[in-house]
């Protein structure tokens, strides 16, 4: 005999059964999520990082975000370079990217007195995710100024018996690096620049941002090596500089660095090797520096002798800055053809691939002098 359950009781049982099913389901979900959290906490940190962007699309998005993130300092890596220097420039970029810039993505600016070839442009762009810009020089910044006696300048070229003495383009380059590079439109918005050149090597990993370091600590000029100048190339540079100081005493602060560059009142040849320099461009744009460059430029020494941008920059630093405004980058292992520098603690740090015994910073007398000024 079949017994019928009253309709009200049947509805009540259905509600109770549904509630039980919901409770069981909720318990299962909470248990699963708790287990996942516990497992995630127990994972090694390295495993968490590997899983953070495991899909190709995630990797691509992370790369794009990194590339588009703005630099904390308005700065760039800048080079005056020829189309024929492509392979040497690629070597430099590869080292800079590996040692430093893959972490910071600072832009590159390449300048030339002739248009860059498509081969050069592609060749350097292929090596970096950073923005790359190309600029050309105008006739004011590259060539003979109107006041130069070109026949006299040519006679100097013909008679020169020292390195690069017969190179007209080398003299144009020294004048440009001394007084025009910071005026180029592509650098107009920059606060800092790092000068780079083809065929150089960077021996050590650089784990911090040197631009930010300089800005945060009030440094105006950064250098790495300080050899002696070949004095035959600059016979009247110091006398011209002394005349400038006599005529412009108001521009020379009492506290300066002339002790580094002079001995017994004469220039000792010490200079910062400017193929590596990191500079707060407000220094080059200052009225003091511009007045000094224009004074030198009018004298004609860039063409009637072979004044280099290295002694010009160094004498300007010595006249206008204090030691607290100048940064010695002793942790940047660096090689430029003919000369190299390896940090003395490079083996201990484990971040360099060089021999500090062979490329000792104290091989250069001016490096020792820096410590005592």
Q: The CATH number of the domain where 95 resides is what?
A: 3.90.550.10
pLDDT value for 57: 34
Q: Which residue has the tokens 């001016």?
A: 366
CA dihedral 248, 249, 253, 256 (to 10 degrees): 90
Q: Is residue 48 assigned to a domain?
A: no
- Residue 13 — φ and ψ, nearest 5°? -65, -40
The residue among 369, 237, 233, 259 whose CA lies nearest residue 317 is: 259
Q: Is residue 1 assigned to a domain?
A: no
Share of the chain above pLDDT 70, in %: 79
Q: Contact, 210 vs 194, CB < 8 A? A: yes
Residues in contact with 98: Cβ distance below 8 Å, sequence separation at least 6, in sequence order: none
Q: Contact, 292 vs 250, CB < 8 A? A: no
The pTM is what?
0.80
Q: Is residue 62 assigned to a domain?
A: no
Alpha helices, H only, 43-81: 45-52, 56-68
Q: Contact, 78 vs 132, CB < 8 A? A: no
Q: Is residue 154 assigned to a domain?
A: yes
Please give the tally of structural domains in the chain. Answer: 1
| Residue 10 CA, distance from chain mean position | 81
Q: Contact, 289 vs 283, CB < 8 A? A: yes
Q: Is residue 38 assigned to a domain?
A: no
Parallel, antiparallel, or unpaired for β 266-267 and 221-223?
unpaired
The residue among 277, 278, 243, 238 whose CA lies nearest residue 258 is: 238
Q: Which residue has the tokens 């390896």?
A: 342
Q: Is residue 51 assigned to a domain?
A: no
Low-confidence ranges of the chain (pLDDT < 50): 1-5, 9, 29-70
Q: Is residue 250 assigned to a domain?
A: yes
pLDDT value for 153: 98
Tokens of 25: 């389901």
Q: Which residues are catalytic?
A: 277
Q: Is residue 16 assigned to a domain?
A: no
DSSP result, 145-206: -TTS-HHHHHHHHHH--STTTT-HHHHHHHHHHHHTGGGSGGGTT-SEEEE--TT-EE-B--
Structural domain containing residue 242: 75-372
pLDDT value for 127: 98
Residue-wise pLDDT tens digits, 279-330: 999 999 999 999 999 999 999 999 999 999 999 999 999 999 999 999 999 9
């Amino acid at each position: 005999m079949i017994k019928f359950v009253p309709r009200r009781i049947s509805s009540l049982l259905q509600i109770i059964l549904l509630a039980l099913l919901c409770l069981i389901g909720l318990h299962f979900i909470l248990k699963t999520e708790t287990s996942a959290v516990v497992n995630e906490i127990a994972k090694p940190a390295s495993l968490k990082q590997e899983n953070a962007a495991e899909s190709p699309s995630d990797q691509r998005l992370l790369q794009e975000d990194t590339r588009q993130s703005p630099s904390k300092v308005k700065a760039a890596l800048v080079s005056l370079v020829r189309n024929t220097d492509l392979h040497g420039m690629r070597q430099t970029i590869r080292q800079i990217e590996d040692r430093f810039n893959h972490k910071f993505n600072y832009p590159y600016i390449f300048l030339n007195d002739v248009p860059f070839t498509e081969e050069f442009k592609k060749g350097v762009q292929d090596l970096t995710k950073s923005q790359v810009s190309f600029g050309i020089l105008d006739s004011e910044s590259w060539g003979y100024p109107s006041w130069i006696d070109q026949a006299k300048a040519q006679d100097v070229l013909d008679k020169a018996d020292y390195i690069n003495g017969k190179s007209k383009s080398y003299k144009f380059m020294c004048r440009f690096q001394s007084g025009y590079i910071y005026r180029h439109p592509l650098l107009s918005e920059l606060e800092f620049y790092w000068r780079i050149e083809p065929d150089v090597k960077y021996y050590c990993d650089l784990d911090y941002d040197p631009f930010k370091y300089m800005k945060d600590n009030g440094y105006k000029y950064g250098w790495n090596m300080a050899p002696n100048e070949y004095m035959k190339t600059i016979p009247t540079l110091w006398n011209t500089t002394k005349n400038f100081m006599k005529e412009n005493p108001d521009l020379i602060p009492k506290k300066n660095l002339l002790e580094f560059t002079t001995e017994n009142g004469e220039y000792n040849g010490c200079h910062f090797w400017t193929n590596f320099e990191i500079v707060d461009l407000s220094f080059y744009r200052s009225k003091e520096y511009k007045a000094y460059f224009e004074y030198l430029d009018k004298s004609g020494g860039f063409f009637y002798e072979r004044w280099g941008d290295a002694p010009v920059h160094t004498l300007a630093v010595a006249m206008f800055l204090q030691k607290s405004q100048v940064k010695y980058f002793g942790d940047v292992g660096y090689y430029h053809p003919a000369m190299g520098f390896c940090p003395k603690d490079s083996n201990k740090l484990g971040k360099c691939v060089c021999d500090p015994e062979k490329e000792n910073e104290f091989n250069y007398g001016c490096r020792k002098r820096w410590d005592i000024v």
